[in-house]
Amino acid sequence: MGNCLLRNRCPSSRNQPDEAKNLPVKSDLPVWSAERSITTEQLMRKRAEFWDTSPAYEGRKEIWDALKAAAEALETGNRDLAQAILDGASITLPTGFLSDCYDELGCRYVLPPYVLSRPTNIVTSKPEPATDVIVPTSPVTMAPDMHLKIRLSIGDVTTDEKLPVNSLERIADVKERLRQSHNLGKFRMRMICCGKILNDKTAIKDAKVPKGFIVQVIVTTDQE
C-alpha cells in the first residue's frame, strides 16, 4: 500500500536517458512462456488487472492508457498506429521497445511481457466474441459550429486540413465524411488525440479535444 504514495513522484526518473535517445517503436514482440500453460481468458484477465491497477502506484493514467492502446496496436501488427499513439502522448523509447519507456516528465514505465505478446504455451480456449464496429452508411448532416484540425496519414502521405464539424456529431460521422471526401472506401481508420484513440460512438464535444490540438487520423489498408 505504501507504493500508492509514490504516484506521480516518479522516483526512477533519475535514470532517464537523454532525450536524443528516443528510438522508433520496434515491431518485434517479446517471446516468453508462462510458468504454466494458460488460456486466452486467463491471459486477458491478467492483462486487465495490470492496466487497471498500475496507475494507482506510479505515473499518469493518460500515459498508461496510451501505452495500453499502443501495445494492442503493436500486437495486431499495426506499428504505424502504435507510433502515432506514442508520439501523441510524448512517450519516449530509449531502446525502441515498449517494455521500457518514459513520459515527458521523466516518469519511467515498465511493461511486463504478458501485456505485449502471448506466451508460447497458451492453450486453445473458447473463441473471443467479435466486436462489431458500427459505421453509419452516410454521415449525419448538422450545421458546423467549430473546426477540427485534422492530420490525415495515408501510407507515407500526410496532409493537414481544418474540418468544419458540429460538436454533436459522433467520431463515426467525422470518419464517414473523411471517407467520402478522400475516397477511402472501407479502409480502417483511427482518430487519435493526446495519445488516446477516439471512440466511434463518442460525440465530438465529449471527446474533449483541447483547443488548437491536432487530431491524427491514421488510415491503413486493411478493411473494416
Confidence at residue 205, expressed as pLDDT on a 0 to 100 scale: 86
pLDDT of residue 88: 93
pLDDT of residue 221: 65
Rounded distance, CA 150 to CA 161, Å? 5
Report the predicted TM-score, pTM, of the whole model to 2 decimal places.
0.58
Alpha-carbon distance values, 217 to 84, 90, 115, 156, 172 (Å): 9, 17, 25, 13, 12
Give pLDDT, residue 6: 36
Dist CA 26 CA 95 (whole Å): 9
pLDDT in tens, 150-160: 998 887 788 89
Residue 187's nearest CA partner among 141, 160, 153 is 153
**What is the structure's pLDDT at 114?**
96
pLDDT of residue 87: 94
pLDDT at 15: 54
Q: Is 16 exposed, middle or buried (0-12, 13-18, 19+ CB in 10 A)?
A: middle
Q: What is the pLDDT along the chain (224 residues), one digit of tens a residue?
A: 333 333 445 654 445 655 558 999 999 999 999 989 999 999 999 999 999 998 888 899 999 999 999 999 999 999 999 999 999 999 999 999 999 999 999 999 999 999 999 999 998 755 455 554 554 445 455 688 888 899 988 877 888 999 898 888 899 889 888 888 888 887 788 889 877 888 888 888 888 888 888 898 888 765 55
* Residues comprising the chain, all counted: 224
Q: Which pLDDT value is given to residue 4?
A: 33
Question: Per-residue b/e over 171-197, b at no fewer than 16 CB within 10 Å?
Answer: bbbbbbbbbeebebeeeebbbbbbbbb
At 21-74, the pLDDT tens digits run 899 999 999 999 998 999 999 999 999 999 999 888 889 999 999 999 999 999
Rg, the chain, Cα only? 19
